[in-house]
Structure 1
């Protein structure tokens, strides 16, 4: 008989992190079942989608742990709520983060509702490297002890209402120890590569894959002083600060130095570049961000000094936050910062606590 107070569903992805999460929770006394989410149906037999391989590993690990593996197909929902929105933002010249959107709409919204209402579990668990601490009737999201693998950046869209259903056992572990434990347990996926973003697309295949959904649209690459030095095949393939893959080296009258994308003009379909790595467009005083989410209500946040992350890394920047309205903020850095990319997320921290975040609209020069 299931003890309903300890019934947890683990999102088994086929990777080592979710496998060890399930193992830990089972050994802690929880009744554990797994669930495999299929988020992509289109052209499953191509070189991008690894869902068949992932499902194979998910079944293998579930069998080793002697737990039931449930299955849910969220492909339609993923297309509407994640991938379609990602495409729309790419067309606008932005650089969205589909992994954050997937966590918000699929894993910690639809999946939680499905698990609670259709399976009858009390908790959901994933292999994310974060901590979830209950204190004074609130659930707080904290950084992992493994700062190199901390994934709070990807989970800033959560809130107290869905955090109370979440268990994150890996927040107190280092990735190397997770792999060592998996190897000791003879898990076949102990060295399986981790994935983020559009998880079924490798970095090298991104352009080829996206071009199946957004037609190529050739345009000019121009210098900051309006000299045409090359062509591109679609603004959506490029991002501010990018220096690789521009194919504009060896141009007469210019130094043999890297070129950096300093701006994109969607209306004119042009990419603007410079050889000055300290170009003003690449050095920001701060940023404007919208679609603000606060994990918990925080009093006097208008007067708080915070730290921010502008990308997935262990580095934070000391900053001041000013609310323009309930949905928009101005962030001023304590010192000049490098590349600020519209469409990406800025995530807010007070010490170890992730308090929320927003989507970058523009930088402040």
Structure 2
């Protein structure tokens, strides 16, 4: 007669060490664990290797080592429709999207969660470095305890109701400890390198990959004063604050991307890492998602925020919401505020939610005459 378990949990196995250790820990805790591998992208990389096939082999090895069954779910069409098409549309409009955030919202904690429920599981577990804190009947999203690995930023767009059925088994652990657990357990992924880059692009070069899906025309790079500084290869290939790859020589400091003009296919560049066009102390954001019981807080509201993943928390005030758009003011000017990236709000370790940046403003250019090529 089998021993009773703490319940059935589906673990999203990616073939990496974090999800492997998540499954291992839950099995040790007494859960009935089922592995589930997602196929979202099956294209070969630049070397002709299908990374999804390699990852799946590791999923099989880990499942055998831990002693759990596994399933495979093909979500490629869901990914194409809900993530990739949006990614391409944003690039067409000169924006800089973050598909990892959409993948978490639309695939992992919606489609994958539904699949876990279909398999009779009470919980879905993933290898994210984040925590879930239960307080007064509400489950808050909180930062992972390893500050160098915290992934709450990427979970800020997930519907808070999904978290009631989610577990993050490694969220309270430093990465070094996760590696140690994997090695002591003899898991096949113990020394496997972490995946990097955009979720479906990985380590491949961005420009060759995107050029297979979108045709971009070359255009002019101009200074804030309107002087032509060179030629760009397509505005989607550049992001605000970018320094490398501009090909602008000459004396003085380096040049940086400070703006885009999609209507005229122009890339605006300025010289110097401290150029005022790179900074703004306010921004507007849209599509806010709140992970709090009360939803949008009473405004104005003081908190901290990040406008990019690796950034330290910044003091700010959410001043107002009008027509679905937030206005956020920072205590200190922020560098390279980038449209369609996420701004994510925090109070201490708690993640309050996030929104998609629409624009910095009033920007350097809005306080001057419109930029036009001379």
Report the equivalent of 2:352.
Answer: 355
For the Cα contact (< 8 Å) 2:5–2:30, is it kept in 1?
Answer: no
Aligned counterparts of 1:177 and 1:244: Cα–Cα separation in 2: 36
Please say if 1:270 is aligned against 2:271.
no
For the Cα contact (< 8 Å) 1:49–1:201, is it kept in 2?
Answer: no
Which residue of 324, 330, 333 corresponds with 2:330? 333
3-state DSSP class of the match of 2:205? helix
Report the equivalent of 1:307.
Answer: 304
Pairwise CA distance, 1:152: 0.2
Gap regions ≥5 residues in structure 2 = 364-374
For the Cα contact (< 8 Å) 1:148–1:314, is it kept in 2?
Answer: no
Pairwise CA distance, 1:191: 2.4
Report the equivalent of 2:236.
Answer: 236
Pairwise CA distance, 1:206: 1.1
Task: Trace 1:41-80 onto structure 2 (pairs within 5 A).
Answer: 41-42=42-43, 47=48, 49-80=50-81
Gap regions ≥5 residues in structure 1 = none
Comparing 317-326 with 10-19, which one deviates more in the overlay?
Answer: 317-326
Report the equivalent of 1:102.
Answer: 103
| Residues 1:75 and 1:44: Cα distance change in structure 2 (over 3 Å) | farther
Aligned counterparts of 2:139 and 2:66: Cα–Cα separation in 1: 29
Pairwise CA distance, 1:112: 0.7
Report the equivalent of 2:21.
Answer: 20
3-state DSSP class of the match of 2:179? helix
For the Cα contact (< 8 Å) 1:48–1:202, is it kept in 2?
Answer: no
Aligned counterparts of 2:169 and 2:61: Cα–Cα separation in 1: 21
For the Cα contact (< 8 Å) 1:292–1:326, is it kept in 2?
Answer: no
Alignment RMSD (CA, Å): 1.9
Pairwise CA distance, 1:181: 1.6
For the Cα contact (< 8 Å) 1:344–1:360, is it kept in 2?
Answer: yes
Aligned counterparts of 2:261 and 2:311: Cα–Cα separation in 1: 32
| Residues 1:226 and 1:326: Cα distance change in structure 2 (over 3 Å) | closer
For the Cα contact (< 8 Å) 1:48–1:200, is it kept in 2?
Answer: no
For the Cα contact (< 8 Å) 2:160–2:290, is it kept in 1?
Answer: no
Aligned counterparts of 1:81 and 1:232: Cα–Cα separation in 2: 30
Report the equivalent of 2:371.
Answer: none
3-state DSSP class of the match of 1:170? coil
Comparing 91-100 with 48-57, which one deviates more in the overlay?
Answer: 48-57
Report the equivalent of 1:209.
Answer: 209
Aligned counterparts of 1:332 and 1:41: Cα–Cα separation in 2: 42
3-state DSSP class of the match of 2:26? helix
Which residue of 272, 277, 297 corresponds with 2:293? 297
Pairwise CA distance, 1:195: 2.5
For the Cα contact (< 8 Å) 2:197–2:203, is it kept in 1?
Answer: no
| TM-score, length of structure 2 as denominator length | 0.91
Aligned counterparts of 2:319 and 2:259: Cα–Cα separation in 1: 26
Deviations 1:109-138 (A, max 9, x none): 01111110x211110000000001122111
Report the equivalent of 2:370.
Answer: none
3-state DSSP class of the match of 2:170? helix
Deviations 1:307-343 (A, max 9, x none): 0011112511010012323732111001112110001
Q: How many residues align?
A: 360
Report the equivalent of 1:137.
Answer: 137
Report the equivalent of 2:219.
Answer: 219
